[in-house]
Amino acid sequence: MKIRYILGLLVLIIFCNKVSAQILISVGSGYSQNFDGMTTATTAALPSNWKADTKTTVSTLGTYSAASTATTQAGTNIATGAANGIYNFFNGTNHAVGGLSSSSASKSVNIYAWFQNNADGEITSLTISYDVVKYRNGTNAAGFSIQMYYSTDGSAWTSAGTNFKSSFAGGDASNAGTATPPIATVSVTSQTLSGLNIVNGGNLYLAWSYGVTTGTTTSNAQAVGIDNVSIPGGGVLPVELTTFKAFKSGNNIKISWATANEINNSGFEIAKSQEGQNFWKTIGSVSGSGNSNSPKKYYFLDRNPFYGKTDYKLIQIDNDGTRKNIGQVEFEFLRPNNYSIEQNFPNPFNPTTMISFYIPEDANVKLAVYNILGVRVKELLNGYLTEGKYDIVFDGKDLPSGCYMYTLTSGNFSKTMKMTLLK
């Protein structure tokens, strides 16, 4: 029993050592880090899910998985002859994490953080703030910078752009530090990192890469780091969808959806795919409400539904043309057993409208329009049709405004509906 217990305990310990929990963020739930929980040790442990590495070439990032969880150097007043590496900067109780290059080593020092979306809402943007601090001067004329990058796998990195690049002018008088650092601070304040599609459980990696601003000469470097990282709750989707439904409306399928709020919403497209098919067909579009913080309802009528099961997809389009699938629903449309004719659409109309009907068998069919006196003014159809649904356009451009009737006749079936021409 003792042997089994010890083996079980070892397995549990090994398993637990493999478990890692990313920094959790979501829509409405953010994160901040000031590094003040670190010790003053040279090889101080970085905060949980933060890592760092050095590279021997400029503007080079590594991978999060291969990076180290500790710094390699530490100090307050960074001396002229200080060693290069990953720095744990501190002044009293305040800490920062960054790097110092030499002429041949630590030409890039990268600080990484691993985040995960832990909620249902998709994160499409983040508002990020942080300070870039200089802890030692440098006579290098090019100056040194920190550029932020992002990734979804921790290895393929994309620059976050110039709004997330902070630089210090070069050509300082000496390579000396100060007893009361930081020497200078550049703040990145509430900058938006957009173009993200971080779904529930999805990963986001951020990297801050230190190095010379231009060129490849890294001697006489400035020591630079980051501090006070702040990321409020992730940005929400341009449209918050609350419902997306499909239901039968006569011989059509009515698609309805509602939104709680909208941001820069140009509109929607509706696409459908029949069961067993591998492609989607766009069947219509509906204008959006632009910017709105109040509930909105939308409808679209599929007048040519497939029989059997059909998937409908709702595509939201931003004002800049960005497209995103935000909803999908399945509906099974059963083949009707009886003759039917629908109310024309639109009604009232000017001068055209559509009349839809369904015949359950191959048959001779007549469709005619009458005025209020019962006089036939136009015959729309008179012939043999196969089973199915039909849409017939009626053009009343040659008729005066008024109330008209249309009658569908086939075998023993006959039905009349009213419509209004309003010019």
Q: Which residue reads 């020092």 in tokens?
A: 109
- 378, 368 contact by CB (below 8 A): yes
**How does DSSP classify residue 270?**
E
Position 369 scores a pLDDT of 97
Which stretch of 93-97, 235-239, 401-405 has the lowest confidence by average pLDDT?
235-239
Q: What is the mean pLDDT of residues 344-355?
A: 95
Position 153 scores a pLDDT of 96
Position 152 scores a pLDDT of 96
* pLDDT, tens only, 2-46: 334 333 333 333 333 333 457 777 655 688 999 999 999 999 999
* pLDDT, tens only, 369-415: 999 999 999 999 999 999 888 999 999 999 999 999 999 999 999 99
Q: What is the mean pLDDT of residues 313-324?
A: 87
Q: What is the mean pLDDT of residues 127-141?
A: 96
Token pair in block for residue 78: 């960074």
Position 18 scores a pLDDT of 36
- 32, 226 contact by CB (below 8 A): no
Q: Which residue reads 């959790």 in tokens?
A: 24
Q: What is the pTM of this model?
A: 0.56
Alpha helices in 116-197 (DSSP H): none
* Dist CA 346 CA 381 (whole Å): 20
Reply yes or no on whether the pLDDT at 334 is more than 80: no
Q: Strand, helix or coil at 164?
A: helix
- 97, 89 contact by CB (below 8 A): yes
Position 263 scores a pLDDT of 82
* Dist CA 253 CA 268 (whole Å): 17
Reply yes or no on whether the pLDDT at 66 is more than 80: yes
Residue 235 pLDDT level (bands cut at 50, 70, 90): low
Position 212 scores a pLDDT of 98
* Dist CA 61 CA 348 (whole Å): 65
Q: Exposed, middle or buried, 315 (CB in 10 Å: 0-12/13-18/19+)?
A: middle
Domains (ranges, CATH) in the chain? 19-231 (2.60.120), 239-333 (2.60.40.10), 340-421 (2.60.40.1930)
Give the helix/strand (H/E) hosting 292: strand 281-292
